[in-house]
Amino acid sequence: MSAIRPLRILMYHEVAATAPPAFAKYAVTPRAFTRHMAWLARAGYRSVLPDDLVAARAGRGTLPPKPVMITFDDGYQSCLVHAVPALRQHGFTAVFYLVAGLVGSTSRWLRTELGLELPLFDWHAARELERQGFACEAHSLTHPHLAQLAPAACRYELEDSRRILERELGREVRHLAYPFGSYDAGVRTLAQEAGYRTACSVRIGLSPPDDDLLALHRVPVSGHDSLLDFVCRLRTALGVREALGGVLDKVRRQDHPRTAG
């Protein structure tokens, strides 16, 4: 276990030149994304996929000294245009977590959440991504809050999404990202029973060697981040203001310790 390095699992959603104001937090511009990839390459990071993590945990391989897993939730069409070329330019692969029941359609779940819908790429594009060395994995069937579902409905979302992905991609699908990051102990158990080996959460943090494979920490990348924020997130999982706020809180506690009684 000591040979496994801490892993940065970056969480992106959309990479697009413009985005609706309600979705701006989740949309990184092509220029910013290209700068992120260039910085990672210069700093010596190497991309890995979930299978690499599973193999390292099982002692069948090791992660590189500076591993990074680049993940995209939902499967937005714009990522094909803007993210994939930048990834390929800098020699990185990535994971695209797809909503199996909506591939080639739109992000209908956002209509309820934010009052908008965005186009998702289709199965032909997913198969082409896999041919190029990227991985397409599961993000449920319809993108619900899994922890709010009855167990039978949650099991259906997890099992049917895997079944459809395997049929369309022609290979075993073993990895998941929880929609909205919504999971609990029951959802985790159902994911394991459905055959998933890893599952990404939205718990913010670097992924340590003993991270729960079915509740992996990730590093969120915001559309509001500067390049300095991005670099800070790689070190701390937090943006500059969040990281400084934590340091200041710690200093305040040290300067003003609570007294007993």
For the chain, first and last CA: distance in Å? 43
* pLDDT band at residue 261 under the 50/70/90 scheme: very low
Residue 259: per-residue pLDDT: 42
Section 220-248 average pLDDT = 89
* pLDDT band at residue 245 under the 50/70/90 scheme: confident
Using the predicted structure, report yes or no on whether residue 253 has a pLDDT greater than 80: no
Section 95-110 average pLDDT = 98
Residue 37: per-residue pLDDT: 98
Residue 3: per-residue pLDDT: 47
**Partners of 116 in the beta sheet?**
none
Phi and psi angles of residue 131, each rounded to the nearest 5 degrees, phi first: -60, -30
Residue 251: per-residue pLDDT: 43
Specify the amino acid at residue 46: R
d(CA 199, CA 216) in angstroms, rounded, equals: 6
Q: What is the mean pLDDT of the chain?
A: 93
What does the CA dihedral 35, 38, 44, 47 come to, rounded to 10 degrees?
90
Residue 243: per-residue pLDDT: 87
- CATH code of 8-224, in short, is 3.20.20.370
Residue 111: per-residue pLDDT: 95
- Tell me the domain boundaries of the chain: 8-224
pTM, two decimals, is 0.92
Percentage of the chain exceeding pLDDT 90: 90
Q: Tens digits of per-residue pLDDT, 139-160? A: 999 999 999 999 999 999 999 9
Helical residues (DSSP H) of the chain, grouped into ranges: 30-42, 50-57, 77-89, 109-113, 123-131, 151-169, 185-193, 227-236, 240-255
Q: Tens digits of per-residue pLDDT, 209-231? A: 999 999 999 999 999 999 999 99
